[in-house]
Amino acid sequence: MSQMKKLLNEWRLFLAEKKEDPSYSQETYNAYLLLALANERGGNRDQVKNDIRAIAEVLTVTTVEPADGGIQKNMGDYYLSTVKLRIRLRSGVERERFTQELVNDINKMRGVSVRRHTSEKSTELREDTDDYPGTLPAYVKGHARKKKRLIGKGGQPNTKPYTKKPSYKRAKSAPAGFGGAEE
């Protein structure tokens, strides 16, 4: 009788999926692609994203906006678009080799060509985690660094101690007719 109860309890746990499987983990990584989408052939960005999602190991496809370091630009004959792919890595396959296989598959699509691609190191993703660690690839980071350097050229950094003192030549008194007690 106790044998039957034990089997019944195991079956209930199996049906409820309460049993943790420590061996389960899904090896995933991010790949960033700079796509050239032909205006004459192929579809728009949403159709291309759906076609890429149809590849077996691709989990998600999102566009990387310019504010986040991506490129979204119309070049006349084609449209440049940076996309981020979340990819499940097959066991026994190297990440770089698998990314190259995916790039070859995407290049076979009508009106789409991959101009550049990078991938991040693999991470372990379990079912209960929602956050995806990662940063933008090197070619996007370089662009942001250059932009920051150009923006920060003028002016003194806003840190203490302040070394430049403002000139008080014109600030001693206001010109006649500029407010004051007479108004």
CATH (domain of 89): 3.30.70.1150
Mean pLDDT of 40-66: 89
| More confident site: 178 or 40 | 40
What is the pLDDT at residue 124?
Answer: 47
- Percent of the chain whose predicted confidence (pLDDT) is above 90: 33
How many domains in the chain? 1
What is the pLDDT at residue 134?
Answer: 45
Contact 31, 117 (CB under 8 A): yes
| More confident site: 50 or 130 | 50
pTM: 0.55
Note whether residue 146 is domain-resident: yes
Find the angle CA(135)-CA(120)-CA(129) to the nearest 5 degrees: 70
In the structure, what pLDDT confidence band is assigned to residue 131 with cuts at 50, 70 and 90?
Answer: very low
Note whether residue 3 is domain-resident: no
Number of other CB atoms surrounding residue 137 within 10 Å = 22
What residues make up the domain containing 77? Answer: 24-126+135-151
- Percent of the chain whose predicted confidence (pLDDT) is above 70: 60
- Average per-residue pLDDT in the chain? 76
Task: Determine the Cα–Cα distance for residues 50 and 115; give it in Å rounded to an integer.
Answer: 19
